[in-house]
Structure 1
Amino acid sequence: MKNYILIMALFVALTAHAQLSLPAQSPSANIKQTIGLTEVEISYSRPSARERTIFGDLLPYNEFWRVGANAATKITFSGDVFVGDQLLKKGSYSLLAKPGVQTWQLNWYTYSSGDWNDYVEAQPVVKLQVPVNKRGIVLESLELHFQDITMESTTLLLEWEQTRLEIPIRVDEKEQISADIIKTLAGPDIFDYYAAALYLHENQTELERALEYIQKVTESPKAMFFVVTREALILQDLGKDREAKKVAERALALSKKAENKDFIRINEKIINQ
């Protein structure tokens, strides 16, 4: 064991100082796929068989494998997904496998390191048993890819040599999509109006439209001090001084209540002008 550690340390040291660029034996790969509204990204390395027997020989059955080569395989989900029937929350995961003759155990861990050994003794977030299927022809290099893609599901295929695993992944986004549809069809919300008014005013363009948008927000008695101040500033730039002063008095009271000195000064200046 000491000799192994010494050899690895020497290898790392030599690699760090090497200037010669050579092709990787297990080149890295990165794939992305959208499922519904969720983005899935997989980063892994692709070892090749090179006339070796892989499963049950080079990779013994019932021992952990990193599902790739070099660093730990990393899978990132931009939203919550179900792997099989088990929930994986939004985030990044490392995937380790225990190959078997008829089934594989796939362990999903919260990603924390590129060193796959860090996960061997850790508690997986999800354990999944997946049956083994046989390919008709030999696949030289490990491949992860997606098939059978619908608006709410896909199959992640793990294939190498004559082994094929089908990992079902699905999303449940109906409620979110329904809420987005209702919100969008109902029209812009107050934040959209404020953002539009802010853009137009800061760029000194279409100030009448900027005023129309900001007043859709300030008509609410719950309008924030900085929003009401923006209305006063737009009125001032439009030359509507009397209206600007009245709105600034409201904004000043709100600014004092919020104890915001910057906006107190801005509104006092508008009133004095």
Structure 2
Amino acid sequence: MKNNYFTKIFICLALFVGVHAFAQLNMPRGSQHATVSQRVGISDITINYSRPSVKNREVWGKLVPYGMNNLGFGTSTAAPWRAGADENTTITFSHDMKVEGQPISAGTYGFHVEVKPDNKATIILSKDSKAWGSFFYDESMDALRADVTTNTVAHKELLTYEFNTVTPTSTTVSLIWEKKEIPFTIEVPVTEIVLNDLREQFKGQAGFSRQNWEQAANYALNNGGDLNEALGWIDAAISGQFFSQKTFNNLAIKARILNKLGRTQEYEALMDEASGMANKNQLNNLGYQMLAANDYDRALKYFKKNVADYPNDANSYDSLGECYKMMGDKKNAIKNLKKSLSLNPPANVKANSEKLLAELETM
């Protein structure tokens, strides 16, 4: 009995050791893992990769062979470079985007590069993002291929991905290693994504806030959204809902939407209504909006109202003087700008009044 018991213990221990002898240990890598991410609008692009070093090796055409190659392992007989070290380099898009002008759906992709001589390369996004390196690369799993031009740059010892250029709707990603840069451009349909996201948010708690409807309408107005949809959003903020309230801000937004829709009479009436609810700064801004729209009569009315309501405010006289100057009334422009300077204006207002007066002297 005793011998049989110890035999069973030995067998269990042997099995335990055998099963765990090949378990992956959490140890430092030769090529350190890295993650880099960039947001464009409300969308994220994330690259996960491992960073090999040059270590005085000849990289291009040697360590990283040109073209598609049989790597001697796995199932692929024509594999690109893994664009890093160890397992797949991956790139994740939080929303549908475009890479080098080609559409790519939201998701995670294996990122590979076919490096070519003469400053050429082809970037490859594969639907298989979980393979090890490029050893199991399968062309039929390609989601996107794009030819790009490479650049010669200063030496970079560690392979690095950088988001070198970021605009409101795009970014340029660069793979940089040794003295080669492989850049590619990602475009993001920011307005479409934001508006779709707003529509979804309004189904939840965000839909119970007047300010959110105002913000959404203003975004659509300023970013090429559907103006009729924007008008519906601002109308919800103004009246008809339990959270609605007529304010200077939402009336001014609605007026601008109406103006863009060509509904001029409604726009003018609403601007006048908004002006009656405006504070000093709001009315001043409204006056400048009218100047920008070449509606000098309405601008003059708003600036005069501010002077009447705030007779000791230097900025109100400065704005009125600027309005007269733009209308070509030199006499009244000088009169109001000098009045502004007599009221001990803050530095920015003083600088503007002095600049405008100097310009008037040359007229």
- The normalised TM-score by structure 2 is 0.45
Corresponding position: 1:83 with 2:99:
yes
| SS in structure 2 of the partner of residue 31 of structure 1 | strand
2:22 alignment partner AA: A
In the alignment, structure 1 residue 23 sits paired with structure 2 residue 36: no
**Partner residue of 2:137?**
119
Classify 1:59/1:195 alpha carbon distance in 2 versus 1 (closer, same or farther; 3 Å).
same
Aligned in 2, Cα 1:72/1:15: closer, same or farther, shift over 3 Å?
A: farther
Contact preservation (8 Å) 2:127, 2:141: no
Aligned to 2:116, which of 97, 100, 112? 100
- Looking at structure 1, the residues matched to 109 and 33 of structure 2 have their Cα atoms a distance apart, in angstroms, of 17
What secondary structure, in the 3-state scheme, does the structure 1 residue paired with 2:167 have? coil
Contact 1:74 1:111 in 2 (8 A): no
| Whole-angstrom distance in 2 between the partners of 1:174 and 1:142 | 34
Counterpart secondary structure, 1:119: coil
**Higher mean C-alpha displacement, 66-75 vs 120-129:** 120-129
How far off its partner does 1:128 sit?
0.5
Is the partner of 1:125 in helix, strand or coil? strand
Matching of residues 248-263 of structure 1 within 5 Å? none
Q: Is this contact kept in 1: 2:124–2:142, CA < 8 A?
A: yes
Q: Contact conserved, 2:122 with 2:146, CA < 8 A, in 1? A: yes
Q: Does 1:142 align with 2:159?
A: yes
Cα distance 1:174–1:115, how it changes in 2: closer, same or farther (>3 A)?
Answer: same
Determine if contact 1:36/1:150 at 8 Å carries over to the other structure: no
CA–CA separation in structure 1 for the residues paired with 2:30 and 2:136: 23
CA spacing shift, 1:32–1:179, aligned 2, 3 Å: closer
CA distance in 2, matches of 1:57, 1:190: 56
Does the CA contact (< 8 Å) of 1:106 and 1:129 recur in 2?
Answer: yes
**Aligned-residue CA RMSD in angstroms?**
3.1
Structure 1 runs of 4+ with >6 Å offset: 193-196
Which secondary structure does the structure 1 equivalent of 2:192 belong to?
Answer: helix
**Whose Rg is larger?**
2
Structure 2 gap ranges (5+): 1-18, 69-79, 210-240, 243-363
Q: Greater shift after overlay, 93-102 or 104-113?
A: 104-113
Question: Could you tell me how far 1:130 is from its partner in structure 2?
Answer: 0.7
The Cα offsets for residues 62-114 of structure 1, whole Å up to 9 and x where unpaired, read as: 12100001000111111011101001111111111110122001111114423
The answer to whether structure 1 residue 44 and structure 2 residue 61 are counterparts is no
Residue 31 of structure 2 aligns to which amino acid in structure 1?
A: S
Q: 2:343 maps to which residue?
A: none
Question: How much does 1:122 deviate?
Answer: 3.2
How many Å separate the matches in 2 of 1:22 and 1:189?
47
Matches of 1:138 and 1:46, distance apart in 2:
15
Q: Flag the structure with more relative contact order, 1 or 2, with Cα contacts below 8 A and sequence separation at least 6.
A: 1
Name the aligned partner's letter for residue 86 of structure 1: Q
For 2:35, what is the secondary structure of its paired residue? strand
Deviation at 1:119, TM superposition (A): 2.4
Secondary structure of 2:141's counterpart equals: coil
What letter is aligned with 1:166? P
Q: Which of 188, 191, 194 is 1:171 aligned to?
A: 188
The match for 1:192 among 197, 205, 208 is 205
Equivalences for residues 228-267 of structure 1 within 5 A: none
Structure 1 residues 192-251: Cα deviation after superposition (integer angstroms, max 9, x where no partner): 39999xxxxxxxxxxxxxxxxxx96xxxxxxxxxxxxxxxxxxxxxxxxxxxxxxxxxxx
Unaligned runs of 5+ in 1: 1-12, 197-214, 217-273
Letter of the structure 1 residue corresponding to residue 156 of structure 2: L
Q: TM-score, normalised by structure 1?
A: 0.58
Q: How many residues of Structure 1 are paired with residues of Structure 2 in the alignment? A: 181
Q: CA deviation at 1:14?
A: 9.8
**Structure 1 or 2: more strand by fraction:** 1
